[in-house]
Homo-oligomer: A and B are copies of this chain.
Amino acid sequence: MILRFAHGTPECEVQALRSLLEERGLACVRSPEERRPILAVIGQLDARTRGELERHARIEERLEPRLGLDLVERAFRERPSVVAVGGGRSATVRVGGDEVVVIAGPCSVESRAQVRETAAAVAQAGAHILRGGAFKPRTSPHAFQGLGVEGLRQLKQAGEAHGLPVVSEIMDAADVPAFVAAGIDCLQVGARNMQNFTLLKAVARTGLPVVLKRGLAATVDEWLSAAEYLAGSCPVILCERGIRTFERATRNTLDLTVLPLLREWTHLPILVDPAHASGIARIIPPLSRAAIAAGADGVAVEVHPRPAEALSDGPQALLPAELTRLVADARVMAAVTGRGLHESPSAVRAPA
Most B Cβ at <10 Å: residue of A138, A199, A228, A294: A294
Stretch at the interface among A91-99, A253-261, A300-308: A253-261
- Closest residue of chain B to A193 (Cβ to Cβ) is B196
- Counting CB contacts under 8 A, is A115 at the interface? no
- Chain B binder among A205-213, A283-291, A344-352: A283-291
Binds B, one of A2-10, A77-85, A122-130, A242-250: A242-250
CB-based contact A247/B219 at 8 Å: yes
Question: Which residues on B sit within 8 Å (CB–CB) of A197?
Answer: 137-138, 141, 171
Q: Is A42 an interface residue (CB 8 A)?
A: yes
Taking the nearest CB of chain B, how far is it from the CB of A322, in angstroms?
14
Pairwise interchain contact B225-A140, C-beta atoms closer than 8 A: yes
Q: In the complex, are the beta carbons of A260 and B246 less than 8 A apart?
A: no
Within 8 Å CB of A291, what residues of B? 290
A219/B248 in contact, CB under 8 A: yes
Bound together, the chains give a CA A291 to CA B294 distance in angstroms of 9
A56 within 8 A of B: no
Is the Cβ of A253 less than 8 Å from the Cβ of B249?
A: no
Q: How many residues of A contact B (CB 8 A)?
A: 71
* Chain A 53-64 per-residue mask, 1 if CB under 8 angstroms from chain B, else 0: 000000000000
Query: A101 on the interface (CB 8 Å rule)?
Result: no
Write the nearest CB–CB distance from A41 to chain B, whole angstroms.
12
Interface membership of A184, Cβ < 8 A: no
A255 contacts B260, C-beta separation under 8 Å: no
Q: Are B260 and A286 in contact (CB under 8 A)?
A: yes
A217 at interface by CB-CB < 8 Å: yes
**Which residue of A197, A243, A248 has the most chain B CB atoms within 10 A of its CB atom?**
A197
**Which stretch of A13-21, A102-110, A150-158, A332-340 is in the interface?**
A332-340
A142 within 8 A of B: yes
Interface pair A69/B171, CB less than 8 Å apart = no
A152-201 residues at the B interface, CB under 8 angstroms: 171-174, 192-193, 195-199
* Given A249-B258, A280-B261, A293 contacting B295 (CB threshold 8 A): no
**25 A–B contacts from the bound complex (CB under 8 Å):** A68-B142, A69-B140, A137-B195, A139-B195, A139-B222, A139-B226, A141-B228, A171-B196, A172-B173, A173-B173, A173-B198, A174-B174, A174-B198, A193-B195, A217-B246, A220-B247, A242-B257, A246-B246, A250-B257, A260-B286, A286-B293, A286-B294, A290-B293, A290-B294, A333-B336
